Amino acid sequence: MEIDPFIFRLSIFILSIFIGYYVVWSVTPSLHTPLMSVTNAISSVIIVGAIIAGLAGSTDNVFTTSNILGFLAISLAAINIFGGFLVTQRMLQMYKKKKKNK
């Protein structure tokens, strides 16, 4: 009997939870805020679905409800992607070590 592809996706999912568990526990507590902003940014990879939704359908009508929702979702996810990564970058830039010679 063939295995349903869903099972493979489920395996990826479960294994990723374990990876996430161990990786996140090793994050230093002082970087918990950047952790939140960067997870925010990467979870916006949902834009992949939004792009598919935006590009779907026939050429003559690009303004079906489905397309429009896709466009909106693209904007929302893009705010998050750019905002999330840039604000993380801004924060991480501020974390400095003590200067040796003062």
- 101 is an interface residue for other proteins by CB under 8 A: no
Residue by residue, DSSP assigns 40-62 as HHHHGGGHHHHHHHHH-S-SS--
100 binds other proteins (CB under 8 A): no
Site string for other proteins, 52-71 (x = CB under 8 A): xxxxxxxx--x-xxxx-xxx
Nearest residue to 79 (alpha-carbon basis) of 26, 36, 37 = 37
CB of residue 2 vs other proteins: minimum separation in angstroms? Answer: 15
Length of the chain, in residues: 102
What is the nearest approach in angstroms of other proteins to the Cβ of residue 63?
Answer: 8
* The residue to which tokens 């003559």 are assigned: 60
Q: In the window 1-40, what residues touch other proteins (CB under 8 A)?
A: 5-6, 9, 12-14, 16-17, 19-21, 23-40
Contacts of 37 (CB under 8 A, 6+ apart): 84, 87, 88, 91
Q: In the bound complex, what is the minimum distance in angstroms from residue 101's beta carbon to other proteins?
A: 13
Residue number, 26 or 101, with CB nearest to other proteins: 26
